[in-house]
Amino acid sequence: MFPKVPRSAFAACALLIAPLLVAQSTEAEKRIEELERESLGYIRLLTDWGGLTRYGSDNTELKPDRNRVIFFGDDVVERWGEGKSPFFPGKPYLNRGMSKQATPQMLVRFRQDVINLKPAAVVIQGGSNDLAGFAGPATERTIAENLTTMTELAKLHGIRVVLASVTPVCDCGGPKHTLRRPPGRIMGLNEWIKEYAARAGAVFLDFDPVLKQGRSMKREVTDDGLVPNDAGYALMAPLAEKAIAEALRGR
């Protein structure tokens, strides 16, 4: 016969194990959410490669606004405002981000979601998903060409351009983001964006000073290691507004 174990021992074990089970459950939920987002991205890739249906009908309902500024990009832009903090309340800023999009897809919808809306300025933020290979193999050169084309199209239509840096990532939220988006490649792409912005007469918006520590994203400004959280966006917002003001100066 096995010795009788006191109920108090079971209770003590339960108290010790419970936090571990909660932590595992939380991590599992985060991973499931990330996989759901990725699956939706692949479904969109198959059914609407350029993402033209996402904002098409919303755009037709917009009234002209000569002070409009469009934030155009990928996951980082789309999820700006999804948390507790709203997306630039009281500002004529329009969010046209799309998760899991790479720059060739952004280029396809650039006329619909930027040019046709006649904004005063556009903040372009993209390249991270190219590095991750979400739209197929990509090199720094192909990313650069797509960003260049968007910048030239905007300038041709009298739209001021802000080119934002690719935000850093970290392996602190579950998936190994640095495997798909190596920090060295992000740094190299950002160096090109900064240099090109200077040559093209655009404003370079650098998020690294508030998001980055070493070569990775700070743990406190992200929940999943890829996209900033409310704290991260709160630090990014003043930098974005400063860059927009610089781009619009002298209109």
**In the predicted model, what is the mean pLDDT of residues 113-137?**
96
What values do phi and psi take at 186, rounded to 5? -65, -45
Half-sphere exposure of 3 (CA within 13 A, CB side): 3
Q: Is residue 80 part of a domain?
A: yes
Statement: residue 215 has pLDDT above 90: yes
DSSP line for 89-147: TTS-EEEEE-TT--HHHHHHTHHHHTGGG--SEEEEE--HHHHTTBTB---HHHHHHHH
* Distance, CA of 190 to CA of 113 (rounded, Å): 24
Q: Is residue 226 part of a domain?
A: yes
3-state DSSP helix/strand/coil % of the chain, to nearest 5: 55, 10, 35
**In the predicted model, what is the mean pLDDT of residues 173-197?**
93
User: Where residue 29 falls among pLDDT bands split at 50, 70, 90?
Assistant: confident
pLDDT of res. 63: 95
> 196-216: b or e for each residue (b if 16 or more CB lie within 10 Å)?
bbeebebbbbbbbebbbeeeb
User: Where residue 85 falls among pLDDT bands split at 50, 70, 90?
Assistant: confident
Q: Is residue 4 part of a domain?
A: no
pTM for the whole thing?
Answer: 0.83
How many domains does one find in the chain? 1
Q: Is residue 6 part of a domain?
A: no
Q: Is residue 136 part of a domain?
A: yes
Q: Is residue 65 part of a domain?
A: yes
Q: 129, 102 in Cβ contact below 8 A?
A: yes
Q: What is the CATH number of the domain that holds 203?
A: 3.40.50.1110
Statement: residue 40 has pLDDT above 70: no
pLDDT of res. 144: 98
Residue 62 sits in which domain range? 51-248
Q: Is residue 33 part of a domain?
A: no
Q: Is residue 144 part of a domain?
A: yes
